[in-house]
Amino acid sequence: MLQSRVSAIFLFLVLGSLSLTAQDSLLYRELTLPDTVCTVESAFRSIERQTGLSFSYNSDLISKKRIVTLQAGQLRLIDVLKRILNDPGLDYTIIGRHLVIFKPIKSLASNPESPTDSVNYFEIRGRVLDRNDRQPLPYSSIYLNGKAIGTVSNNDGEFVLKLSSRFIYDTVNISCIGYKNITSPVASLINTNRDYLLKTDVVSIQEVVIRKVSPVLLLQSATEKIRENYPQRPSVLTSFYRETVQQGNRFMMVSEAVLENFKSGYHGTGIADQLKILKGRKNEDISSEDTIVLKLKAGLNTMLMLDVVMNMPDFLTGESTAEYNYRLSDIVIDNGQDNYAIEFSPKSLSLTSFYSGRILLGIKDLAFKWVEFYVDPEQLERATNLFVVKKPSFLKVKVLKAHYKVAFRESSGKYYLHLIQAETEFRVRNKNKLSGSVYKMALGMVVTDIDTENASRFPFREAAKPNEFFTEQVGEYDESFWGEYNFVTPDESLENALVRLSRQWQKQQEEAASRQ
């Protein structure tokens, strides 16, 4: 992904029709044209002198050196543009003092009411990198300021943010824990593909100051403030979900979906959350030799259970002091706000505690912002039974890794689920063989939009069954599959795997057709 200047020529891609603003009304202002033959560039300069506007467009759309013929007379600006550009696929709008020429991205709607329904949207693409060493910053948040719409970067720091026209006047906020935010107007980023370099943001604080604060009391206070910090009313979260299974470094299966998640609120009523699959697919390459009858606690149900504020694990409450050691380790900045960083680990003689990790609590509001935990290396042997529900007697299974990340993000004064990542790794060996195979399973969900106005439970027939796989939808991998929905860009290794799996699927389809 290439870095470009903020002052680069803008291309605005618009979803639907923009309402006619006072600025857009300038498009219908009459201009006096000379009788001349000139380049498109010269014609633009003439328009700029008469209107005081400056042109913004993608240079790939328009040849500035192309010769056009203008006839003397008075014409509306929009008609002049149509005559000069002679391209019915282009459209125009005015933002500030910029006359913007654009060509909308058009695709079939993801959930059309009719087969011909289509949508237009624009994209912002880029990479989020550390300013000092240019290393990628995974899990960076790319969101609209003051809104719940956004996405996160992948392991390579890459992202794609899809937006509709009503957000042209908004501001994009890019943030990562421990770094200073970057904010830029949407209008300056539309259809760009650039690098965003974040500068580290540290708090200078003496160790003695940290020692004065009790991490246990902080966690207990944060638990008491859940009703204040988290929504009590129902909401529906739109999210992107991805699940991958690898044998060694080879991807065996990739499942993806756009989900809706009904959440009843953080008030402890016991009303279960629901999931609905809006759109999904699964690509796989599993031969008979690969198949292992091993049932793991994973999938959509894991995503529901990993809302750690709604389903609080023992290490989060601050009440399990007999099982865990707690230490206030640092003050960390996230999204411009200071947070306590609390580390925890199992006590040496504990028989029930498995996890170590780190918790970020907002200093100002004591909200849980980020919870990262993993099975402590010394507890991996005992933890196997937590993950393996059923296996054949001839298999020996060992957990090698179990790592989780859960993040919450503020919207309209309340904190909502923002991100969940789960990575587990197992060694599976036939008891009669010396060597075995390592299997890696990764689950990820990123909330891309929040609806608090139209939040109602899904009809039973529409709700997904959390303990089952997605409805199988396989096909050639291409980004247009997701239409206007935001998704997490696959990193390079996953992108290559998706291409391979798609080709494998196509080959199987061709072989099946030839046998008929």
pLDDT single digits (tens) 351-371:
778 899 999 999 999 999 999
pLDDT level of residue 467 (50, 70, 90 thresholds): low
Angle among Cα 398, 399, 405 to the nearest 5 degrees reads: 170
pLDDT > 70: percent of the chain: 80
Provide the pLDDT for residue 97: 80
The CATH architecture assigned to 24-102 reads 3-Layer(bab) Sandwich (3.55)
Residue 483 — φ and ψ, nearest 5°?
A: 55, -130
User: What is the Cα–Cα distance from 493 to 253, expressed in whole angstroms?
Assistant: 13
**By the 8 A CB rule, do 91 and 103 touch?**
yes
Residue among 149, 142, 339, 311 at smallest CA distance from 230: 311
- Token representation of residue 206: 């003496």
Helix H segments across 192-246?
207-211, 215-224, 226-229
Residue 219 — φ and ψ, nearest 5°?
A: -65, -40
**Integer CA distances (angstroms), 73 to 30, 47, 79, 82, 405, in order:** 10, 14, 12, 15, 65
Residue among 469, 436, 464 at smallest CA distance from 295: 469
pLDDT single digits (tens) 284-322:
766 544 455 444 445 788 888 899 999 999 999 988 888
Residue type, 55: F
pLDDT level of residue 211 (50, 70, 90 thresholds): low
For the chain, give every domain's residue range: 24-102, 225-316+364-474
Residue 159 — φ and ψ, nearest 5°?
A: -155, 160
Provide the pLDDT for residue 8: 29
Strand boundaries in 140-273, DSSP class E: 141-144, 150-152, 158-163, 171-175, 182-185, 193-198, 235-247, 250-263
**373-385 as b/e: b if 16+ CB within 10 A:** bbbbeebbeebbe
**95-120 as b/e: b if 16+ CB within 10 A:** beebbbbbbbbebeeeeeeeeeeebb
**Tokens 């948040």 identify what position?**
141
Parallel, antiparallel, or unpaired: how do β-strands 355-362 and 337-346 relate?
antiparallel
